[in-house]
Amino acid sequence: MKTKTLFRISLILLFALAISSCDELKDENEDIQFAEATVTEDITESVTWETGNIYIIDGTVRVGASQTVVITIEPGAIIKFNEDATLDMAYWDNEYATIIAKGTASNPIIFTSNCPSPEAGDWKSINFYQGAINCEFENCTFEYGGSNDYYGIVSIEETSVSFTSCSFKNSSTLGIYLKNNGEFSNFNGNYFTGISTYPISIYPAAVHTLEANNSYESGKTIFIDGDQDLNISGEYVWKNQGIPFTFDGVMRMGTENTQGLQITIEPGVTLKMTTDSYIDLAYWDNTYATIIAVGTEELPITFTSNSPSPEAGDWRSINFYKGAINCEFDFCEFEYGGGNDYYGNIYIEETAVSFTNCKFSNSDSYAIKLTTEGEFFDFFKNTFSSHALYPISIYPNAVYSMGPENNFETGSSIYVDAGQDLTMNGEFTWLHQSAPYTMDGTMRLGSVNGTKLNINAGTVLKFTNGSVIDVAYWDANSGQIVANGSVDEPVVFTSNSPSPAKGDWKGLYFYNGVNGTNLNNCKVEYAGSSDYMGAVALSESGNGTILFTNSEISNSNSYGITVDDESSLDYSTITFINNENSDYHER
């Protein structure tokens, strides 16, 4: 370890500067004396770089010692870097260093190239490592550096640095590169221009350290290296920088601390996702995470593709797992995702998420896919368009969580994975949405304590080939359907085929425990694929337990209604049209 900083200093009387005048004003001539110091060796003792002097960094100069080495830079000092020169702060383990560089608006501190005709990339960088503590820059200019894209003009790793009212100009790579555990202790009022790639590259855990009042060149984005997990506890805000964030990789959000992690995204923020990028919330067991993304109509929050020519499927998804709690999206836009059809653009499993006033477009699969115990805790006034598969894929147990006033593209439908039963206790309502429900599989409705499903007037349920609803199928289960349509808005049970035909699906089957079922102003059509059961079948249902009134059964491939010897039904107000066999049959 060197015990003394070694400078090769040559003091040069540069010139007497005669300051020219304009027509309105003439300044007095002043003689200004500059000192020029060339720094070639490591700095191991504290030093002050003074106003009006020029300090030339030649080669790699490392600052630090076991006792903190402080470089104090006065306003107006100029630090020039020779070709590929670097200043390393606390490069070695167990060394400590500090820079205090506070210029003024009229007398900034300048870090620049020593070339007579400076260009971007003339010098490397200023690098801050773990032992670089309490470093502050105010009214400073950093220019013509960044020759190595691993560092940019400034790199920060395992520490925090403050930049206030600073300018970053003409880098051949990045402006600032924040690496593992690198962040800002303060960052506001800064300005970036002439940066070749990204003004800032940052890990997710440090994004909250960017303040909101910085200025960036139009057309640039801030790069978030998503391959680093976001696993810090606490509440943090991602502020609107005025330019988008480019998100790259797979980011898993969550912490084992029961306090959890909460990220709030400000209105107007845009996240541009690179190819195959996605975000997992609470992916690991016993981890907890929350996103609050509340935009406004004028300043929505946008999750989109990073491609200059975006297409459906450019990026994958945002995935919510069991520990993703109280996640909320309002006035958000999700577009060009869905690159994996298992997940869709949004994937929800074992948790509930809120979407209100949101727009979903151009997914290469689903816009939203809800699987086991996934549901919405608020869902209204959302808009869906241009999805390769369905706008929503959902289990029967979660359909009730879809609220009103959603707008679905004409010709689309909501996919209900009817291979999953509706077995929750209680009373639930399926609202009339602007798209029909596509029912796929065998849905068994009922529970020990009773399940009542209300289906609103105007609702259309389209059944895929062989699909059926079994009500109270299991012994000791109770289940009821109340589908109360109107003349103008009947509840329709029909085929999902674009060219419907008799027997496209099985039908509605009712068993013991259906007392209270009421079908009024309903249509059941293109069912009856089972010759034995017909379009509507009662088995051990009792007498008068089901009210079926003012309705129509048509185009069954077998019977209209069948009953066994333990069931009966008053069908006097039912209209039967074009059924293959008799309208009412006792099996």
User: What is the pLDDT confidence band of residue 21, given thresholds at 50, 70 and 90?
Assistant: very low
- pTM, to two decimals: 0.91
Average pLDDT, whole number, for the chain?
93
SS3 465: coil
21-35, 190-204, 250-264, 545-559: which has the minimum mean pLDDT? 21-35
Instruction: Give 447-459 as a DSSP string.
Output: BTT-EEEEE-TT-
106-110, 145-149, 379-383, 519-523: which has the minimum mean pLDDT? 145-149
Measured between alpha carbons, how far is 581 from 534 in angstroms, rounded to an integer?
Answer: 9
Mean pLDDT (whole number) for 542-550: 93
Task: Quick: pLDDT tens for 54-74.
Answer: 999 999 999 999 999 999 999
User: What is the pLDDT confidence band of residue 1, given thresholds at 50, 70 and 90?
Assistant: very low
Measured between alpha carbons, how far is 205 from 212 in angstroms, rounded to an integer?
Answer: 17
Mean pLDDT (whole number) for 173-178: 98
Query: Does residue 578 have a pLDDT over 60?
Result: yes
Whole-number pLDDT of residue 228? 85
Query: Does residue 27 have a pLDDT over 80?
Result: no
Whole-number pLDDT of residue 478? 96
Instruction: Give 478-533 as a DSSP string.
Output: BEEEEEE--SSS-EEEEE--SS--TTSS-EEEE-TT-TTEEEESEEEES---STTT
CB 523 within 8 A of CB 493: yes
Query: Does residue 332 have a pLDDT over 70?
Result: yes
Six-digit token string for 317 = 């998804």
Mean pLDDT (whole number) for 48-56: 97
Whole-number pLDDT of residue 33? 55
Whole-number pLDDT of residue 26? 34
Query: Does residue 17 have a pLDDT over 90?
Result: no
Query: Does residue 2 have a pLDDT over 70?
Result: no
Rounded percentage of the chain residues whose pLDDT exceeds 70: 94
Is 38 or 12 the better-scoring residue by pLDDT? 38
**Residue 471 contacts by C-beta under 8 Å, 6 or more apart in sequence?**
444, 445, 446, 479, 480, 481, 508, 509, 510, 511, 514, 517
Whole-number pLDDT of residue 15? 29
Whole-number pLDDT of residue 544? 85
Terminus-to-terminus CA distance in the chain, angstroms? 99
Rounded percentage of the chain residues whose pLDDT exceeds 90: 91
Mean pLDDT (whole number) for 325-354: 97
Task: Quick: pLDDT tens for 203-256.
Answer: 999 999 999 999 999 999 999 998 889 999 999 999 999 999 999 999 999 999
Measured in degrees and rounded to the nearest 5, phi and psi for residue 399 equal -60, -35
**Residue 434 contacts by C-beta under 8 Å, 6 or more apart in sequence?**
406, 407, 408
Taking CA atoms, 89 is separated from 46, 112, 247, 356, 424, in Å, by: 13, 18, 29, 48, 61
Task: Quick: pLDDT tens for 376-428.
Answer: 999 999 999 999 999 999 999 999 999 999 999 999 999 999 888 999 999 99
Whole-number pLDDT of residue 445? 97
Measured between alpha carbons, how far is 103 from 131 in angstroms, rounded to an integer?
Answer: 24
Query: Does residue 9 have a pLDDT over 80?
Result: no
Task: Quick: pLDDT tens for 466-490.
Answer: 999 999 999 989 999 999 999 999 9
**Residue 584 contacts by C-beta under 8 Å, 6 or more apart in sequence?**
559, 560, 561, 562, 563, 569, 571
Which one-letter amino acid corresponds to residue 578? Answer: N
Task: Quick: pLDDT tens for 308-318.
Answer: 999 999 999 99
Six-digit token string for 202 = 């940052």
User: What is the pLDDT confidence band of residue 4, given thresholds at 50, 70 and 90?
Assistant: very low
Gyration radius of the chain over CA positions? 34
Whole-number pLDDT of residue 34? 66
Strand ranges for 64-134 from DSSP E: 69-73, 78-81, 86-89, 97-102, 109-113, 125-128
Whole-number pLDDT of residue 32? 47
Measured between alpha carbons, how far is 587 from 584 in angstroms, rounded to an integer?
Answer: 10
Task: Quick: pLDDT tens for 316-330.
Answer: 999 999 999 999 999
